[in-house]
Amino acid sequence: MIILRSGLLPDDETWEFTFPPNSLASRPSRPGLVYGKAISLRRNDDEVTTTLQMTLRMEQFPSNRILNSDDTSKFVLFSIDRSFRFPDQPMKVGVEYLVRLFKRGVWLNGVQYRFYGHSNSQLVWKSFFRNALFAIFS
């Protein structure tokens, strides 16, 4: 797992990250299993403080028609932990943060991933896909 940013701030405006390409552990390929990049927004509680982190790792992707018919390296699974909330801030601050992030996208090693869409079942689990196909978002 790579910590892209620890100590997320309510006024963050950009999400551009560079990391060694070999730092993501690849998963063994098995028939029917698809792995890809996954970003998580989550709370990190330690003994002294609570911080919000954005992490990146390789994860098994769910099976769906988009991922079954396209190159999975163009996607990042984006998940939000249910406890994601800025300490001592109203929920609205977190929602505004996510809206900015979805509008601006995430840059990983010079490649921009922008919000692509979601299914109703993904809304239940608070998971979203971001797509790296630039032509779609011209």
The token pair that represents 31 in the structure block: 């028939």
CA atoms within 13 A on the CB side of 66: 17
- Torsion angle of alpha carbons 135, 19, 82, 91, nearest 10°? -80
Alpha helix (H) ranges present in the chain? 65-69, 91-104, 120-125
Each domain of the chain, given as residue ranges in start order, spans 2-20+35-137
22: left (phi over 0), alpha (psi -120 to 50) or beta: alpha
Instruction: Look up residue 70 and give its DSSP letter.
Output: S
> pLDDT per residue over 3-54, tens digit each?
999 999 999 999 999 999 888 876 666 777 778 888 888 888 776 777 899 9
> pLDDT per residue over 51-109, tens digit each?
899 999 998 877 777 777 777 778 888 888 878 889 899 989 998 998 899 889 899 99
